[in-house]
Structure 1
Amino acid sequence: MIISPLPASVSENLAEKIAEKITEQPLSLPLPSDSPRRSTSLLILTGLWIIIFFAALFAPPLLDDADGTHANAARHMALTGDLVTLHVNGIRYLEKAPLPYWLDALSFRIFGFNTFAAHLPQAIGVLLLALLGFHWASKAFGPRTAFYTGLAILTSAGVFLFTRIYIPEVLLSLFLCTALYTLLQSLNSSKIEGVLTEPEPRAHNLYPYLMWTALALAVLTKGLVALVFFFGTAIIYLALTGEYRNLRKLKPLTGLLLFLAIAAPWHILAGLRNTGGMNGHGFFWFYFVNEHFLRFLGKRYPMDYNKLPGYLFWSLHLVWLFPWSLFLPIAFIKGWNQWKQRRNAFRHAIKMGRIPEPRPTPPYGTGYALRYHRNMFTGALGYALNGFGANTTLLLFLFSALVLVFFSLSTNQEYYTFPAYLPILALIAAALTRAENTYDEDKSSRRWITFAHATLTVIGVTAASALAYGLWTSRNLPFVPDIGDLLAHRGVGDYTLSMSHFFDLTGPSFAALRLPAALAAFAFAIGPAVAWWLRTKSRHLAATTAIALTSTVFLIAAHIALVRFEPMLSSQDLAEKIQELEDDRAISRDNQVLLYGDQSYGSSIPFYLGEDVYLVDGRSSSMLFGSTFPDAPHIFLTHDDLLKTWGTGERKILFVPLEKRDEVDRLLGSKKILLEETSGKALFTDRPLDNPAPN
């Protein structure tokens, strides 16, 4: 329901009274005595980013599936200079917006085709997101909340996990949150904490255009869903606050022209250059209809996406936002208590005659009571929104709620709600700061902070005990570099959720994970207890920082574990084997490399080889629509094609994933020679080596 404003005569008088009350009762957070300096906070946050994210850019190599696929698209763009049409293995790849690939292609041109260059834009995106959260929270809530917001972004489990592969969510979050921040600054350019001032002309004109620019970049990053989130949030916010009367501050006409000038050219060129695909469809149908509307409805073609059950979708956010999700109850309680206080203060001001009661105008009747309560709610909301911090709270709440509800209805992957992370973490940080400020006087604040620490300590002790048990039981087992040989062979390639691989860890694999397991066990055994002890001494800044450092050590351990999973999750070593055989002249450089099954099984191979490959029974998923264009290269082979050409013409080198080994054994039998095997993946060739290496 759209809430209309109060009658003009009432709203003007009410605004004046509210402005007076604002100056008497500012809502900004009191400044704690031990708040960190801005320079110190930025130094710590930058250091954490270097330790957690920058240091992780060099290993592990690109993973198969989305990581390698997206890097291949950017590699093609960097080599050909075609900034309009994405290609993977020479096939049109039309389902993605281009900006992440532009950034990756630029990185490749500067640093070369390697893992560091592939993931650098995403790591920079994390740093910029943390700095944006720090800056926004500093203006809205104060320096301590700003520091906590930056800490939470850099040390949350979900931010770490979902930046291990090259997906656009972190860039989408950066641009959308920038658009929201500049929206708020555009509307509040003439107000600072409720005190009316003369706006600065340059800032007043700059913020709206920054908003439209950020929104255009968000569309070029993820597509139309960026418009849904931004305008959905903005419309509700403008309606609730009555700020739609200041719509001119947002420069809707010139701003829209700027938005179109940035976002429209690529969409138009992509549509003109990509026509005549499946059933006569081209880019416009596939990108807008299939990848947006049909994906939301769960009817996308091909049907290769899954959806989390509702209970998992909501509960897993406690994991993605861990450890800061433990303070989520404080955010709800503090937010609700603040709303009740401001609502009661509004009613008391009416009762005392300081502001007029917002009664609706006649006619009286059945709708009068509804209009009266609507006006009371609008008036109380206006009374509560007495500064930049309160407006920020409302805007972040609306945005995060919209993102979560949207993807609870749509098909989804675990990381789709990434844009809500910064808003939720900033609200948690603000609530935690308020609770710390009232820790000694307010039993509720003390009780819920204690509950969070107790929960973290129990989780820490449990995790440390489980890790210690795994280390003890594997103490006599030898270290095996290829952890894939120790894992249960459960068809991980058939999983359609991004975190499915992490469910294949078995007991014996602890022998290959001793270092990260010991590191994580130490962090969980010591960190939560130290943080709780510091909290009992009312050393709140140190206690919260201790939680962040605990998470940091755990994330470092997780990264080391991910590197140990490299043979299973990446096929770089198999690409290097091919290059080694070519360098040793054991095979000719004029060979045909083939991937058996969908290209996602071994998508890192063509990237590290630096060449396109053939696909056997691989005309599926992301390769399907692009293969229907008449100029698509003939890279798709059937089983019969493989049998006819196997052993004839150029040497064939066939990559076979674990999931397809039995199928290939039945198809080729003994007509294949094994070149290399790792984690169940294999390289076969169709003839003996030209120059076998001596024993």
Structure 2
Amino acid sequence: MAANEETWLSTRGSTRPRHSRLSRLLPAALDPKRSFRLRLAGLLLLSATVAFYGLGSYGIINGNESLYVESAREMLRSGNFAIPTLDGLPYLEKPPLFVWLIAAASSIFGTSELAARSTTALATMALVISTSAFAKRLGIGATGVGAGLILLTSLGIDIMSRVAMPDLLLTALFGAACCSFLLAVRHRSVASIRGCAAILGAATMVKGPLTIALFVMIAGAYFWRQSSRRRDILAVVRDPWAALLLLTPMALWLVAIDLRQPGAAWYFIVNEQVLRFLGLRQPHDYYSGSVFYYFPRLFLFFFPWVGVLVFGWLVSRKQPDSSKEEARRFLWLCVWIPFSFFSLSSAKANYYVVLCLPAMALLAADYLPTLLRDSNRGILTLSVATPVLLLIGLWTFRLLALSSGRARHLFPNQDGTVPLTIASLSIIALITVSLLQFGWRRAAVLCLGALIIPLSLEFDHIIARAEPLMSARTLAMYVRTRFPGAPVLLFQDFESFGALPVYLGHEVPVIDSQSADLYFGKRLHPHHVMLLTEDQALASGPRTLIVVMNDRERAFTATRIERHVTRVTTIGRATLYQIVR
């Protein structure tokens, strides 16, 4: 057993081997391969528990999540697996791999929240296990599973694993591709570079060729920084089979969609992959922000391990280890290149930086054995305390903003769970620091990971309370109970209430569509049956129900429809009207 592994396993930081009575009775338990497999099995069980816990306890969230789930439902109904549709119209914002997976899960388990989100849960498990496996092969960390455990207990992974969105699948594939590339270069391995290419080719089917662009930037920077590896890099990237594995999936899909809809491939590549990040995409339905937009988000997404990463890096600068320098340099490139690209991009979303987390987890796991040394006890204490203090500081700042009127409460009635969460974080942090002072470092590190528990419970609590505001499930159940079989229409906005067709089980026509996500389909089929004028809506009949979002009320009152409807109820951010004439 290596000395650094003994340090990790020892409860008091001693580097002297500790053979328990059980270990003497079961000597096979000390076998490194078997020991790693047992730890990996335990981590798999833990990740499954975390990833699947409570997935079906709240409705499909309007917006991004509902778009993927509804697209999968329509794909199963229509049998069109080449071009995804949304409300019956072509929808080409992303390649269809994630939608295919949701459709596959729904065909097996039926349309439900759990089935839809199971794809993300399985991607989370794959991400955690693959990160641990690559950590073992790269010689990162002491136990091999530390990187996976760090990743599993990071706030960003915990949040993103609870919604049906493709970003964790992309993160798992992209992280595996980067690690496979590093292994291919180290060993001049044809199998590894072909595996890298195949995985990266699959990643392009999640979010498009931008994935290849990010990878090329990382590989190019590595080629420039690591001059001793240039011949190895050139040797592996010349493999023609790797190029074929990389390019074939996206090429086949682009040909398929262009045969079905001429011009679709050009639209997808130019509008969705290039103009989006230049701020020129039409429609302009994405966030923008300064170059510092992602700094606080990266801190929050990697909580509570960000202190280990930062202070571990500082210690490594003073206590360099030449044997680890190459891998660390490559992993830092895997963090800073995506981070810089998205920071400079004109299109921003909170969750984009989740792509950086696997490399950050590997780095934190690599720095952790150094921080566990006796000489670095004080620095490790700072690594634990600093993120918690910063989070408490952010909460205090928000309290001041609320008291001064510069911010609003999420809910009109506060139930006191946020102060309870902050108190829980403070207690766990104090216990962690106390364990460090008594020399129980292994327990302290595990306790640090436990900081995610109160945050995860608070997130679930907020989502449950906010469901009427964030999901169409409540209103859809009301409609199906009170007005069975009645036609339902949406006014102007589709994506803000995108979960409604999921729960009604059919597409919902939109009156005077202003929807950004239906833009492409509307341009191709301006007179589609799902796109109604005011006259067509009035001609639907007196039992027809119309759903109007709060921010569309002013526009609705200016229409002729408003004179022929009566208000039924308001649920969350939507009001339900019924045509009475």
Q: TM-score range by the shorter chain?
A: 0.7 to 0.9
Which SS does the other structure have where 1:146 is aligned? coil
State yes or no: 1:154 paired with 2:145.
no
Select the residue among 449, 452, 455 that pairs with 2:386. Answer: 455
Change (3 A) 1:309 1:56: farther
Which residue is equivalent to 1:72? 70
What pairs up with 1:612-627 in 2 under 5 angstroms? 612-627=507-522
Residue 674 of structure 1: which of 557, 561, 567 is its match?
Answer: 567
1:25-424 mapped onto 2 (5 Å cutoff): 30-35=4-9, 37-38=35-36, 41-42=39-40, 44-142=42-140, 144=142, 146-189=144-187, 204-239=189-224, 240-246=226-232, 247-250=234-237, 252-275=239-262, 282-338=263-319, 341=320, 384=322, 386=323, 389-410=324-345, 411-424=347-360
Matched, 1:655 2:547: yes
Partner of 1:505: 409
Q: Compared with structure 1, are the counterparts of its residues 432 and 657 closer, same or farther at alpha carbon in structure 2 (3 Å cutoff)?
A: same
SS of structure 1 residue aligned to 2:564: coil
Identity percentage of aligned residues: 23
Q: Given that residues 657 and 680 in structure 1 are in contact (C-alpha distance below 8 angstroms), is that contact kept between their aligned partners in structure 2?
A: yes
* 1:576-591 alignment, distance < 5 Å: 576-583=477-484, 589=485, 591=486
Aligned partners of 2:338 and 2:353 also within 8 Å: yes
Q: Deviations over 1:313-353 (max 9, x none)?
A: 22321112111112232133134335xx56xxxxxxxxxxx
Q: Is residue 545 of structure 1 aligned with residue 519 of structure 2?
A: no
Distance 1:628 1:257, change over 3 A: same
Cα distance, 1:183 vs. partner?
A: 1.4
The structural deviation recorded for 1:397 is 1.1
Q: Offset of 1:467 from its aligned partner?
A: 12
Q: 1:237 to 1:574 in 2, by over 3 A?
A: same
CA contact (8 A) 2:429 2:451 kept: yes
Distance 1:148 1:463, change over 3 A: farther
Measured in 2, the distance between the counterparts of 1:465 and 1:222 equals: 38
Residues 76-106 of structure 1: CA deviation (Å, up to 9, x unaligned) = 1122221110100111001211110111110
User: What CA distance in whole angstroms lies between the structure 2 residues aligned with 1:235 and 1:558?
Assistant: 39
User: Structure 1 pair 89/158, CA: closer, same or farther in 2 (3 Å)?
Assistant: same
Report what 2:32 is aligned to. none
Query: Aligned partners of 1:407 and 1:33: how far apart in 2?
Result: 38
- Contact 2:7 2:369 (8 Å CA) reproduced: no
Give 1:405's aligned amino acid. Answer: S
Contact kept? 2:193, 2:242, Cα under 8 Å: yes
In structure 2, the CA distance between the partners of 1:569 and 1:414, relative to structure 1 (3 Å rule), is same
Deviation at 1:407, TM superposition (A): 0.8
Structure 1 residues 515-546: Cα deviation after superposition (integer angstroms, max 9, x where no partner): x5476245213200000001112221111110
The DSSP-based 3-state class of the residue aligned with 1:402 is: helix
How far apart in 1 are the matches of 2:358 and 2:84? 30
Secondary structure of 2:463's match?
helix
Kept in 2: contact 1:179–1:215 (CA 8 A): yes
Deviations 1:16-46 (A, max 9, x none): xxxxxxxxxxxx9832344395356435533
- Counterpart contact for 2:138–2:183, Cα < 8 Å: no
Question: Aligned letter for 1:425?
Answer: A
CA contact (8 A) 1:186 1:207 kept: yes
Superposition pairs for residues 423-502 of structure 1, below 5 Å?
Answer: 423-437=359-373, 440-441=374-375, 445-456=376-387, 458=389
Q: Which amino acid aligns with 2:96?
A: P
The amino acid across from 1:678 in the alignment is I
Query: 1:463 touches 1:521 (CA, 8 Å); kept in 2?
Result: no
Q: Partner amino acid for 1:316? A: R
Post-superposition offset of 1:666: 4.6
The one-letter amino acid paired with 2:243 is: L
Structure 1 contact 592–650 (Cα < 8 Å) conserved: no
Query: Residue by residue, what CA displacement relative to the aligned partner does 1:458-498 show, whole Å, maximum 9, x if unpaired?
Result: 357668999999xxx9xxxxxxxxxxxxxx9x9xxxxxxxx
Contact 2:101-2:119 within 8 A present in 1 as well: yes
Moved more, 627-636 or 80-89: 627-636
Q: Which has the larger radius of gyration?
A: 1
Aligned partner of residue 526 in structure 1, secondary structure = helix
Contact 2:285 2:516 survives alignment (8 Å): yes
Q: 1:148 and 1:333 mapped to 2: Cα distance?
A: 20
Query: Deviation of residue 248 (structure 1)?
Result: 3.4
Query: What is the distance in 2 between the residues matched to 1:185 and 1:468?
Result: 48
- d(CA) in 1 for partners of 2:326, 2:179: 11
* TM-score w.r.t. length of structure 2: 0.87
Q: Following the alignment from structure 2 to structure 1, what is the Cα–Cα distance between the partners of residues 331 and 431?
A: 32
Kept in 1: contact 2:66–2:498 (CA 8 A): yes
What amino acid maps onto 2:553 in structure 1? Answer: R
Q: Secondary structure at the match of 1:656?
A: strand
Gaps (5+ residues) in structure 2?
11-34
SS in 1 for 2:444: helix
Q: CA deviation at 1:674?
A: 3.1
TM-score normalised to structure 1 length: 0.73
Question: What runs of 5+ residues in structure 1 fail to find an aligned partner?
Answer: 1-27, 191-203, 276-281, 343-383, 474-487, 491-502, 584-588, 689-695
Tell me the alpha carbon deviations over residues 402-460 of structure 1, each in whole angstroms, 9 at most, x when there is no partner.
101111111211111211111012212211221113xx23xxx3343222333245357
Two-structure CA RMSD over aligned residues (Å) = 2.9
Instruction: Work out whether residues 208 and 249 of structure 1, in 8 Å CA contact, stay in contact via their aligned partners in 2.
Output: yes
Structure 1 distance, partners of 2:51, 2:174, is 22
The answer to whether the Cα contact below 8 Å between 1:467 and 1:517 also exists between their aligned partners in 2 is: no
Is the alpha carbon distance of 1:181 and 1:461 closer, same or farther for their aligned partners in structure 2, counting shifts above 3 Å? closer
